[in-house]
Structure 1
Amino acid sequence: MSPQKIVPSPCSFSSASTCRPWLRLSHFLHLALIGSAFFLGACAGPGLTSYRKGDYPKALREFQKDPSPKGDFAVGVMQFKGEGTDRAPEEAALSFQRAAERGHAGAQYNLGVLYLRGEGVQRDREESARWFREAAERGDVKAQVNLGLQYAMGDGVEKDLGEAVHWFTKAAKRGYPKAQICLGKLYAYGAGVARDRNMAAYWFRRAAEQGSLQGQLFLGVMYAEGEGVEKDREAAASWFRKAQEQGSLQAKWYLDHLE
């Protein structure tokens, strides 16, 4: 039996027509999670001390005493997660709104998420994009990726792949793997930017080296097909194995079908 070639699939670049859903916003909703990491690094004082000890009611009381945007942001996170109080998305949205209007990027991102999901507020894609933009302009990488996705799909904003490239590039240069994957795809398909398989491989590699399963798969395919890199079966197999170790069934399929 002659060796089987890798055939076009959602992870192949040989036919853009097979990949039209590649930037569907719903595929990336896992990006749109309430951000609390900044909360843990920005709210110094007795509230944070109590929070780290697991004394959520006391932490909430302390954060409520903080008149700064950071206080409102922390309160919003706890209200949304139901820590120290009953879970209350509507109250969380009001807390985030107060902080967002005073320029808190994390609150702006979270408010964008709530409008995107219609949780605690009426679903409004345009309002979501507005708050993602506010946060993105303040350097929030998750907001930059979500705003880029909205521009790529014309979701809440007029479709503009050039703007999508702009926001993905900002986040990708700061080392954010999701942005690197999105940007690599744009270069691979020549969407919003001149088609450049070398640049696609570059960004996929940046993501793959950080442990991104998608990056490992895409880079493996490029090595298998000789797209943007010199064709190299061993390199392809190496990246597919890394993805398979993370539980990817697609990676196993590619390994089984390498020439």
Structure 2
Amino acid sequence: MYEKSVADVKFINGEYTAAAEMYLEGAREGDAVASFNYGYCLWQGLGIPRNPTEAKSFFAYARDLEGGEAAYNLAMLYLHGDGVTRDYKKALEYMKISAEQGAVEAQLYLGMAYTSGCMFEPDVIGISLIPYHTPIYRDRYMLLEGECEFSEEDEALRYEAVKQDARLAFEWFREASRHDSTYVEELVAKGKYLYAMCYVDGLGTDFDRDKSVRLMLAAGRFGSPEALAYIAENGITENMLEGRQERTLKGR
């Protein structure tokens, strides 16, 4: 009988073959998380030969997981043509599913994709669930096959797949900012910073100096390096916010 905790311990200890066998057993029993984890082993070639095409089937079985991890990885397969035919529109569809299921990685991706009007290359190239939700960053892992192999024609397809939409960008940055500190803190901090910048730049919403200051300070308290740099460069302090509140009260 499949035991997730035992399989996860084996994976963490580097016993990838044994872990993969246990995840496959769980997948055969109908466990969606086990299916996801076996798909992840197939995708990365951990304990078993790398097979992104087969990984797709196991991710697809787990696509309804609440955290959006499986849908995000499916989006990455189609974005990079890794084991499937590259399809930016299908990548966008899976990215939307992932974002709606709550993955901050997908929410940030959509915010930036709708800002730029392009299916760009993300810093997070996948998500693991061993032992819990963990983003896989580009600079910490090998590039996926075919990830950087695209022509000028292919680049045009990236722009055709998604249209610029400032309001949708604003809405997804707002969603990304709403996660708490227990959920991929560095990415939530980035979401809070980008949400604040929407009010700085008037992206998808009205310019609002007071709200941008309040949100930027919140992003800084959350540890966003971009927010902290912006605060320092613009001389923003908590007193500025307090002073605005006092002037507002006096004006009533």
Same fold (TM over 0.5): yes
Q: Which residue of 2 aligns with 1:164?
A: 169
Q: Which amino acid aligns with 1:119?
A: D
Q: Which amino acid aligns with 2:233?
A: V
Q: Which amino acid aligns with 1:183?
A: Y
Contact 1:60 / 1:84 at 8 angstroms: preserved in 2? yes
Q: Which amino acid aligns with 2:235?
A: Y
Normalised to the residue count of structure 1, the TM-score between the two structures is 0.63
Q: Which residue of 2 aligns with 1:6?
A: none
CA distance in 2, matches of 1:167, 1:221: 26
* Offset, 1:93: 2.7
2:81 is aligned, of 110, 113, 118, to: 118
Normalised to the residue count of structure 2, the TM-score between the two structures is 0.65
CA distance in 2, matches of 1:177, 1:117: 27
Q: Which residue of 1 aligns with 2:7?
A: 47
Tell me the matched-pair count: 186
CA distance in 1, matches of 2:15, 2:44: 14
Contact 1:73 / 1:107 at 8 angstroms: preserved in 2? yes
Q: Which amino acid aligns with 2:232?
A: G
Decide which structure has greater helix share.
Answer: 1
203-212 or 144-153, which moves further after superposition?
A: 203-212
* Offset, 1:102: 7.1
Contact 1:72 / 1:98 at 8 angstroms: preserved in 2? yes
- For structure 1, which runs of at least 5 residues remain unmatched after alignment? 1-42, 231-259
* Offset, 1:101: 6.0
Structure 1 pair 213–68 and aligned structure 2 pair: CA distance change class (3 A): same
Answer yes or no: is 1:199 the counterpart of 2:159. Answer: no
- Percent identical among aligned pairs is 27
Give a deviation string over 1:65-104, Cα, whole Å, max 9, x none.
1122212210122222221123333332332223226777
Q: Which residue of 2 aligns with 1:186?
A: 198
**Could you say what the CA RMSD is over the residues aligned between the two structures, in angstroms?**
2.5
* Offset, 1:170: 1.2
Q: Which amino acid aligns with 1:164?
A: A
2:178 is aligned, of 150, 164, 173, to: 173
Contact 1:80 / 1:88 at 8 angstroms: preserved in 2? yes
* Offset, 1:106: 0.9
